[in-house]
Structure 1
Amino acid sequence: MQTLEKLSDRLFYLPPFQKTDRPILAAIVGDNQTLLIDAGNSSNHAKHFKEQLASYHVTGDILALTHWHWDHVFGLREMDMPSIANIMTYDKLKELQELSWEDKELDKRVEAGIEISFCADAIKLELGSMREVIIPDPTIIFEKRIKLNIGGVTCIIEHVGGDHSPDSNLIYIPEEKTLFLGDCLYANMYAEKWHYTIEKMYNLLGKIKDYDAEIYFLSHHPAPLTKDEFASFASLLQTSAELTNKHKGKIEAITEEMSSRFGRNLTEEDLEIITYFVNGYA
């Protein structure tokens, strides 16, 4: 089981768990309220997070969703507190509320290309055979940006979109110089080929640069990234987009120039990201 990590008196996070696709969950402790980030992928995930927080005498008061995907919202009922979502996330949750999550229906959606096989497998493993999923409506709905004052700490939630999910939000805590990016910098998985698109990546990286952060959270990375680590990751994405456009999606030319620019052999992560851009190149 994951163990809660304390970065400061204001900032706690529960690391991800890859086997059942549990994302990072986090808590921002203000003088008056505590903001939780994401609801988890099941009641058990949410319950575990709350129990871990209780060991530090922390209780959540309000919750912000980064986007609509199942692994970030299935624990919403267990969290049992007011929640914040943008209008696009709200609309997608209304759709999820109508779906069955039993094996037969999940398998049908995978076969039809509506659901991802990887996600269906993780749902079965995380939720087991007794599978009741109830997703409450979010409480506070916004369009572009919302700012919270939870006492000594402000939390800025901005809808930024991206390839992974058009409804993606980032959450910025200026007093902690911490930026929660959810899944916004990951590829579009709801497609025949997982991919990035150049324009969306440029737009997203531009928005992220506007925030002065020292700590960066990506929901399925095992630990937060430092400023230098994030700059390296952002450079990989930026360069991959640039070279995909320059070489018109020709992967050999892209990899050759990138290896030359970086002065090293490319890693599996480098090659995977290049492939995603090539897949999305039109």
Structure 2
Amino acid sequence: MAVPQFQHLAGRVWVCPGDPDPEAVQAGVAVVADERGSVLIDAGQSPTHAREIQAALTAAGLPQPRWLVYTHHHWDHVWGACAWPGVEIVGHETAVPLLRTEAARPWSHHYLDEQVRANPRLGPSFRARARAMDSWADFAVLPPTRTFADVDELPVGVGLRHVGGGHAPDSTIVLVPDSGVMLLGDCYYPPPAHLRRPDDGLDLVLVRRLLQDDYLWYVSSHAEPMTAEQARSAVETT
């Protein structure tokens, strides 16, 4: 696995890709760098991953975050949150009960094994969780502390918009208009593998609704950033 590194995308936006191996289930993260307080988009898939991201921030000379935005509640986007002290966690209001339920589960390698035996369809996700977690000491699943219903804007000009969709009910996109960047999370992906039906696919109708002339970059969590031209081509030819 490569050491995480931040790459400048445009304006204030830097991206740190996740692991390209799909079995790792490691989402990328992004940061909107601002001297008034940076915004981190997603927390990393584990405390270890979060600490690697922190080291990558330092190596790139980027400010530490003041806000942590969840694009949605899935584990590979939020399990690193407990390793980010002092940040305000921001997410859609529907994430709160979902993550409170997750927080109450007795997470451990033994528990993960039990769950996979009971439901083998959980295998890819839960085995990836087991690999990601070196230790369960001090681990906690953290719900957002600042929530919104439809739209929100952080004091540094970063916008949040709830879009929902089949992948997760709380899916949120992050808008950085001064940099021409839209961060999509996993919003147009099909449901997680253990919930997916044979006819579930990418929600290109949602993507078409999101495309705007004044955004030059579209970034999802498990793929390379797309230019506006690439994004339009993808939805027009599929």
TM-score (norm 2): 0.87
The answer to whether the 8 A contact 2:27-2:221 is kept is yes
Does the residue aligned with 2:127 lie in a helix, a strand or coil?
A: helix
Does the residue aligned with 1:181 lie in a helix, a strand or coil?
A: strand
Q: Provide closer, same or farther for how the CA distance between residues 171 and 114 of structure 1 changes in structure 2, counting only shifts above 3 A.
A: farther
Percent of aligned pairs with the same residue?
24
Residues 24-63 of structure 1: matches in 2 within 5 Å?
Answer: 24-55=28-59, 56-63=61-68
What's the counterpart of residue 26 of structure 2? 22
The answer to whether the 8 A contact 1:163-1:201 is kept is no
- Partners of 1:45 and 1:63 lie apart in 2 by 15
What's the counterpart of residue 177 of structure 1? 180
| Aligned equivalent of 2:219, options 217, 220, 223 | 217
RMSD: 2.2
Does the residue aligned with 1:158 lie in a helix, a strand or coil?
A: strand
Does the residue aligned with 1:30 lie in a helix, a strand or coil?
A: coil
1:143 Cα offset (Å): 0.9
Residue 165 (structure 1) aligned with residue 172 (structure 2): no
What's the counterpart of residue 83 of structure 2? 78
Between Structure 1 and Structure 2, the one with more helix by share is: 1
The amino acid across from 2:141 in the alignment is I
The answer to whether the 8 A contact 2:78-2:142 is kept is no
Does the residue aligned with 1:41 lie in a helix, a strand or coil?
A: coil
Residues 241-260 of structure 1: matches in 2 within 5 Å?
Answer: none
The amino acid across from 2:114 in the alignment is K
Larger Cα-atom Rg:
1
Does the residue aligned with 1:62 lie in a helix, a strand or coil?
A: strand
- CA offsets per residue over residues 102-122 of structure 1, 9 Å max, x none? 233223333444972211111
TM-score (norm 1): 0.75
- Partners of 2:28 and 2:78 lie apart in 1 by 12
1:100 Cα offset (Å): 2.2
Between Structure 1 and Structure 2, the one with more strand by share is: 2
Structure 2 segments unaligned to the other structure (5+ residues):
none
What's the counterpart of residue 252 of structure 1? none
Q: Provide closer, same or farther for how the CA distance between residues 119 and 33 of structure 1 changes in structure 2, counting only shifts above 3 A.
A: same
The answer to whether the 8 A contact 1:163-1:197 is kept is no
